């Protein structure tokens, strides 16, 4: 009887050892085939371009080809629904944006934030409140006038980061609830701001860079933790005692159950690729800097906070019942 037990234990030990060695060998051999990177944006969109710029160097670091898989629809819902169906093996990476955070906050897309493992952040593009130059004398004047009566904000989305940013800024700053007017894109919004169709606009720096240089549009408040280098004279909301911070963020994530070694290898490769001069040059071109790139710890905290803040604001705005 003892001999049988010893043999059984010996066989089990060999099986577990082989399984362990197999996992190490498998993770060590990653990647051995093409990696898909899923985005919710069409070709040429900001998310698509950011992803492709990351991939330029990541292919070399990982020594494997990478391809874009565009899954448009529902502001990110279609991409999440697709991503939920793929294996947790590291061969499909999700480009995660603030749009996905809004979708999750609304309970759509079939995934929750805890089902993802954050990998790295690629861009952190603060929301900026912009006005026609000369209308407001200062950021303080901008706030004071909104405490007297509501103003009209131009946004490029309803039920997403743009109107949430304006709403939370007004609410936490003790201002009147603003009115929202949606436009098809940042270019049209900038044009309509100059024309006087709206009092203020929620934009990113790259969306109005030419109008800012021409002196037609003036950034008046940055919704970020720190001032931006390119517009260093513009105050942040937090400096003014208004605790609001919102950014158009783009980064990468994998399934929560992706093997630890594989996830860590992906993170190291993506961070290395995005710290390269090629990607850094791209950030400079769109008005950002090296602080956009961050690892899983910073990125993970940010996207979880974003989902929670989105849910709270969208509920108050009536987009979540």
Model pLDDT, residue 9? 42
CATH architecture label of 35-124+248-317: 3-Layer(aba) Sandwich (3.40)
- Distances in whole angstroms, Cα of residue 199 to Cα of each of 100, 138, 190, 192: 29, 14, 11, 10
Model pLDDT, residue 229? 85
User: Cβ neighbours of residue 168 under 8 Å, at least 6 residues apart?
Assistant: 244, 246, 309, 313
Model pLDDT, residue 3? 44
Model pLDDT, residue 20? 44
pLDDT at 171 over 70: yes
pLDDT at 4 over 70: no
CATH architecture label of 125-240: 3-Layer(aba) Sandwich (3.40)
- Strand ranges in 17-75 using DSSP code E only, listed in sequence order: 35-39, 66-70
Chain CA centroid to CA 66, Å: 20
What does the DSSP 8-state code read for residue 34?
A: P
> Identical fold at 35-124+248-317 and 125-240?
yes
What does the DSSP 8-state code read for residue 249?
A: E
Instruction: Share the mean pLDDT of the chain.
Output: 90
Residue 113 three-state SS? helix
Average pLDDT in the 150-172 region? Answer: 92
pLDDT category of residue 271 using cuts at 50, 70 and 90: very high
Q: Report d(CA 286, CA 204) in Å as an integer.
A: 10
Q: Exposed/middle/buried for 44, CB within 10 Å: 0-12, 13-18, 19+?
A: exposed
pLDDT at 144 over 50: yes
Model pLDDT, residue 320? 87
Name the region of 266 (left: φ>0; alpha: ψ -120 to 50; beta: rest). Answer: alpha
Domain locations in the chain as residue ranges? 35-124+248-317, 125-240
Q: Report d(CA 314, CA 167) in Å as an integer.
A: 10
Three state DSSP letters for 139-206: HHHHHHHHHHCCCEEEECCCCCHHHHHHHHHHHHCCCCCCEEEECCCHHHHHHHHHHCCCCEEEECHH
Q: Report d(CA 120, CA 297) in Å as an integer.
A: 8
Q: Report d(CA 121, CA 296) in Å as an integer.
A: 7
pLDDT category of residue 28 using cuts at 50, 70 and 90: low
Report pLDDT digits (tens) over 192-249: 999 999 999 999 888 888 999 999 999 999 999 889 988 999 999 999 999 998 998 9
Paired with 130 in beta bridges are 201, 219
What is the C-alpha radius of gyration for the chain, rounded to an integer number of angstroms?
A: 23
Model pLDDT, residue 41? 83
pLDDT category of residue 146 using cuts at 50, 70 and 90: very high
User: Cβ neighbours of residue 99 under 8 Å, at least 6 residues apart?
Assistant: 40, 75, 76, 160, 161
Report pLDDT digits (tens) over 45-73: 788 899 999 999 999 999 999 999 999 99
């Amino acid at each position: 009887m003892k001999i049988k037990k010893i043999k059984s234990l010996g066989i089990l030990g060999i099986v577990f050892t082989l399984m362990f060695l197999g996992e190490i060998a498998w993770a060590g051999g990653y990647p051995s085939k093409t990696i898909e990177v899923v985005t919710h944006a069409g070709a040429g969109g900001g998310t698509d371009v950011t992803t492709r710029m990351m991939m330029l160097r990541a292919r070399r670091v990982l020594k494997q080809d990478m391809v874009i898989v565009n899954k448009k629809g529902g502001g990110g819902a279609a991409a999440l629904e697709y991503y939920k169906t793929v294996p947790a093996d590291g061969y499909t990476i999700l480009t995660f944006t603030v749009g996905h955070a809004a979708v999750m906050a609304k309970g759509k897309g079939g995934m929750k934030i805890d089902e993802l493992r954050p990998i790295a952040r690629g861009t952190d593009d603060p929301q900026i409140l912009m006005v026609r130059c000369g209308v407001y004398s200062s950021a303080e004047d901008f706030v004071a006038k909104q405490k007297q009566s509501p103003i009209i904000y131009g946004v490029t989305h309803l039920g997403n980061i743009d109107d949430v940013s304006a709403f939370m800024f007004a609410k936490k700053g003790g201002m009147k609830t603003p009115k929202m007017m949606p436009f098809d894109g940042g270019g049209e919004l900038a044009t309509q701001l100059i024309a006087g169709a709206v009092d203020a606009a929620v934009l990113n720096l790259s969306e109005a860079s030419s109008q800012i240089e021409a002196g037609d549009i003036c950034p008046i408040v940055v919704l970020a933790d720190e001032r931006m280098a390119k517009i260093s004279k513009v105050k942040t909301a937090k400096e003014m005692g208004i605790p609001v911070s919102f950014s158009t963020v783009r980064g990468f994530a994998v399934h929560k159950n992706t093997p630890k070694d594989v996830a860590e290898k992906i993170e190291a490769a993506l961070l290395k690729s995005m710290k390269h001069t090629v990607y850094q040059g791209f950030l400079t071109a769109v008005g950002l800097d090296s602080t956009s790139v961050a690892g899983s710890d910073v990125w993970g905290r940010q996207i979880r906070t974003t989902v929670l803040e989105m849910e709270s604001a969208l509920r108050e705005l009536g987009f979540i019942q």
